[in-house]
Amino acid sequence: MSAVSETGEITAPMPRGGVTQSVRDSLVVAQRNLIRMARIPEILLFGLIQPVMFVVLFTYVFGGSISIGGSTDPQLYKEFLMAGIFAQTVTFATAGAGAGIADDMHKGLIDRFRSLPMARGAVLTGRTLADLVQTTLTIIVLAGVALLVGWRAHENIGKVICGFLLLLLLGYAFSWIGALIGLSVRTPEAATSGGLIWLFPLTFISNAFVPVTGMPSFLQHVAEWNPFSATVAGARELFGNKMPNVPQSVTGAWPMEHPILASVIWSVIIIAVFRTLAVRKYRQSAA
């Protein structure tokens, strides 16, 4: 409950501490967001439309035109493409995370949470966990669409699952960037725009849709040190979709030589940095 200060002002209750309490509060907030998503199925539906469109367009429009290792075989391009589409899907969920938090701020819901004796970071953690669940459902459906258009994984089920977990880890890391953006803008519309404008160069200056061998030299370095590229390359390796006659790295960049480890390191760094910044921003706005 709220307390009354010596001056007669009503102050917000002190949040309860402890890791256990923080986890419990985060799960409660995550449950609240999942219930809201279930009641608005359009959120999941519209989240599926764009990646499905990308799969169909890239597969059937560009599939026979882009050379992979000297071959324009459409089947080869499907196996090259899908890790990039999966990675793009999990990272584009960033915009939704930011817009959702900005919407909660705009409607005053965050102010209600601040009046409760709960861990300060629980509101953001719960929101990002709920977004992770939504992204997981989207990836499951998208994987089914990929199988329908001819994509195949060539490794055992354990490695394939690890490939998807690697992608979801990157998506969760990027959702914290979205959380920071959502807390930093005034409207959900601004959060959506701010969440997408930097994602397009990040995803396209990478190895997701075309080999980096055809890029200018300076872009090759950018692409191969891009955390998005490391995750795409790591997922291809775990799916058994590494391309023949396509070099692992053009510039000798360490992330491309060790993509799985590099992807995990990049994701952990992004989570550590942007979670800290987002929670600090949340506390400052509550002051």
Phi, psi of 225 (to 5 degrees): -100, 5
Query: For residue 2, what pLDDT is reported?
Result: 45
- Please tell me what DSSP assigns to residue 152: -
- Structure tokens that stand for 90 in this block: 């999990």
What is the C-alpha to C-alpha distance for residues 75 and 81, in angstroms, rounded to an integer? 10
Report the DSSP pairing between strands 3-4 and 10-11: antiparallel
Amino acid at 133: V
Query: For residue 235, what pLDDT is reported?
Result: 96
What is the C-alpha to C-alpha distance for residues 233 and 27, in angstroms, rounded to an integer? 32
Query: For residue 20, what pLDDT is reported?
Result: 81
What is the C-alpha to C-alpha distance for residues 285 and 281, in angstroms, rounded to an integer? 6
Query: For residue 49, what pLDDT is reported?
Result: 82
Q: How far is CA 280 from the centre of its chain?
A: 21
Query: For residue 167, what pLDDT is reported?
Result: 97
Query: For residue 101, what pLDDT is reported?
Result: 83
pLDDT profile of the chain (287 residues), mean per 10:
45 57 84 81 77 84 77 84 93 83 75 70 86 91 90 93 96 93 85 85 92 91 96 95 85 94 97 93 73
Give me the residues paired with residue 11 across strands: 3
Give me the residues paired with residue 3 across strands: 11
Query: For residue 163, what pLDDT is reported?
Result: 96
The model's pTM: 0.86
Nearest to 231 by CA among 156, 153, 172: 172
Query: For residue 284, what pLDDT is reported?
Result: 78
Token pair 């009354």 in the structure block, residue: 4
Q: What residues does each domain of the chain span?
A: 15-286
What is the C-alpha to C-alpha distance for residues 230 and 267, in angstroms, rounded to an integer? 10
